[in-house]
Amino acid sequence: MSHQSFDTRIVHNKINQGDALNSKSTPIYQTSSFTFKDLDHLESYYAGEASFSYSREKNPNTEELGQTVANLEGAEAGVAASSGTSAILAGILSVVQAGDHIVAAEDLYGGTHHLITKELTSFGFEVSIVSFADKKKVEEAIQPNTKLLYTESVSNPFLRVEDLEGLVSLAKEHDLYTMVDNTFATPYLLQPYKKGIDIVVHSATKYIGGHSDVTSGIVVGNEELMAKAKQKVSALGANLSAFEAWLTQRGVKTLGLRMKQQSANAQTLAESLQQDELVDQVFYPEYVSEQGHGAIVTIELSKKVDIEQFFRSLGWIKLTPTLGGLETTVSYPIRTSHRALTDEERALIGVNDYVIRLSIGIEESADIIAQFKEAIHESVKENSQK
Ligand SMILES: *Cc1c(COP(=O)(O)O)cnc(C)c1O
């Protein structure tokens, strides 16, 4: 293969599904099921020969998307699901059963934290939430029935970069599975599977899709685990629709271009805000990869800034509880992603009224900086001096 680099592979990722008309783009297989010409043909599906039968189980568009992301991650197989959340659930259920114990990082995405601590525990799973910044704490939490260590490669909202090598060696010592949410880093920056992580998951709603027009998720790993994950997706009805798989596939083709620009913009903004006296703290990873350090910047504004006024002064930058789109947007963790947490849990992580998460887009860097500076400086409380 002469097409080995990321950007080359990503645009040549059409998987030939036997399209008789040789279409350039993969058609949308907007069909609930596939037909069989006779009973032998039907039997051949169960023997693994005929490819498709019922879209909840398998559809050409969802297959193509799963394989594309697996290819970008360097993994054997990938499964598309109806959301990042359902991909996370399918990944977890492919290695854990009721009665088993999961050790998960304390600084997870809010929805994942809820899924693991509230939903899974109600089905009889046991869970410990600990700081993964200190691998001793992770080791101390391991019990005889522990099966899985779960974390994020770059955490939300403070962008802690996980020590994946350390995690893999700890898991090997104790014969555990590892699972990493790689949503913030994307396979453009990091490929945790290549570092020995068993299961890698994405909310494709974010950078993989990249255009804020689809809710979808992908889980990747080896053939054996992904066969289980695929069975869970189908059995739980968590399948992605053909059209949303197609949209996500269309989006992922520009992942490299987008991440290049968005990461560079984010780094420039982070450096600029570090110099601003009205920004108390800037959280931006020192190092994620040679390709860049990601497109999220989290800031803690000075107490001199009126937060309500700041959100009203953002001009073309919109407030939205998501990230990873083409446009620069902001989110307010305390009222969105971390809303369900108790005050105590939030304090532990460091989410407070002044913490704002910035998702940096592909716009001109100088425009982004100017708009943030304007919003911050227009929002100084009247009774405080600059
Ligand atoms: C958004 C997000 C999720 C959940 O994904 P959905 O597609 O909304 O279900 C999980 N993990 C991270 C890091 C996210 O940003």
Whole-number Å distance between alpha carbons of 27 and 25: 6
Which helix (H) or strand (E) segment holds residue 377: the answer is: helix 365-377
Whole-number Å distance between alpha carbons of 188 and 111: 24
Q: Which of 189, 214, 245 is the last residue of a domain?
A: 189
Answer yes or no: do 265 and 379 share one domain. yes
Whats the size of the chain, residue-wise? Answer: 386
Which helix (H) or strand (E) segment holds residue 31: the answer is: none
The predicted pLDDT at position 1 comes to 47
Domain range for residue 370? Answer: 255-384
Split into its structural domains, the chain has a count of: 3
List beta partners, residue 201: 181, 219
Answer yes or no: do 279 and 339 share one domain. yes
Which helix (H) or strand (E) segment holds residue 126: the answer is: strand 126-130
Q: Which of 189, 210, 227 is the last residue of a domain?
A: 189
The predicted pLDDT at position 345 comes to 82
Answer yes or no: do 206 and 86 share one domain. yes
Q: CA nearest 324: which of 204, 167, 206, 194?
A: 206
Answer yes or no: do 28 and 168 share one domain. no
Whole-number Å distance between alpha carbons of 157 and 217: 20
Do residues 10 and 255 make contact, with C-beta atoms less than 8 angstroms apart?
yes
Q: Is 155 exposed, middle or buried (0-12, 13-18, 19+ CB in 10 A)?
A: buried
For ligand 1, atom 4, name the residue with the nearest CA: 84
Reading the chain (386 residues) residue by residue, the pLDDT tens digits are 455 788 888 888 767 666 778 888 899 999 999 999 999 999 998 888 878 999 999 999 999 999 999 999 999 999 999 999 999 999 999 999 999 999 999 988 889 999 999 999 999 999 999 999 999 999 999 999 999 999 999 998 899 999 999 999 999 999 999 999 999 999 999 999 999 999 999 999 999 999 999 999 999 999 999 999 999 999 999 999 999 999 999 999 999 999 999 999 999 999 999 999 999 999 999 999 999 999 999 999 999 999 999 999 999 999 999 999 999 999 999 988 788 778 888 888 888 999 999 999 999 999 999 999 999 999 999 876 54
At 217, which CATH number?
Answer: 3.40.640.10
Answer yes or no: do 266 and 336 share one domain. yes
At 352, which CATH number?
Answer: 3.90.1150.10
Answer yes or no: do 279 and 378 share one domain. yes
Answer yes or no: do 317 and 275 share one domain. yes
Indicate the residue type of 228. K
Whole-number Å distance between alpha carbons of 313 and 113: 32
CA of 202 to the centre of ligand 1 (A): 7
The predicted pLDDT at position 227 comes to 97
Tokens of 125: 């799973």
Answer yes or no: do 84 and 204 share one domain. yes
Answer yes or no: do 144 and 184 share one domain. yes
Which of 183, 190, 236 maximizes ligand 1 atoms within 8 Å of its Cβ, making it the mutation to test the pocket?
183
Longest dimension (CA), the chain: 81
Q: CA nearest 361: which of 207, 203, 194?
A: 207
Q: Which of 172, 189, 206 is the last residue of a domain?
A: 189
CA of 359 to the centre of ligand 1 (A): 14
Answer yes or no: do 41 and 126 share one domain. no
Do residues 332 and 299 make contact, with C-beta atoms less than 8 angstroms apart?
no
The predicted pLDDT at position 51 comes to 85
Answer yes or no: do 74 and 8 share one domain. yes
CA of 217 to the centre of ligand 1 (A): 8
Answer yes or no: do 181 and 210 share one domain. no
DSSP state of 289: B
Which helix (H) or strand (E) segment holds residue 164: the answer is: helix 164-174
The predicted pLDDT at position 386 comes to 47
Tokens of 37: 């010409």
For ligand 1, atom 7, name the residue with the nearest CA: 84
